[in-house]
Amino acid sequence: MTIRIGFGILLFMLLIRCAACKTKLWKYEKIGHGEVLVCHKKRITRIFNLQVSGENIVCTCGKIVGVDNPTFIKMIQNAFVYSGTKSKG
């Protein structure tokens, strides 16, 4: 599902998974194209697995997938994969 708002602003519903074990972590509403560098907490629409260990966000397998911040999760590249309704142009 891709939603087009206004003048070409695209929203993508992404499913974030652990790269190591493929466990579903959360669903994230991303605005626009480009890489997922951070996940803003207010745009995380559903949480499947999200554990906080100190300042780290960890998967159930123990892999660190991000770093916790007050309003967002800074994602660790290569520690997660995502799929979903990414536009093919």
Q: Please report whether residue 65 would count as binding Zn ion according to CB under 5 A.
A: no
57 binds Zn ion (CB under 5 A): no
| The residue to which tokens 């911040």 are assigned | 69
Q: Should residue 81 be labelled a site residue for Zn ion when binding is judged by CB under 5 A? A: no
9 or 21: whose CB is closer to Zn ion? 21
User: In sequence order, what are the residues at sequence separation of 6 or more whose Cβ sits closer than 8 angstroms to the Cβ of residue 36?
Assistant: 14, 16, 28, 30, 75, 80, 82
Angstrom CA distances, 60 to 6, 76, 83, 86, stand at 39, 16, 19, 26
The 15-54 site mask, x for binding Zn ion (CB under 5 A), equals: ---x-xx-x-------------------------------
What's the min distance (Å) between Cβ of 74 and Zn ion? 18
Q: With H, G, I as helix, E, B as strand and everything else as coil, classify residue 5.
A: strand
Residues that bind Zn ion (CB under 5 A): 18, 20-21, 23, 59, 61, 63
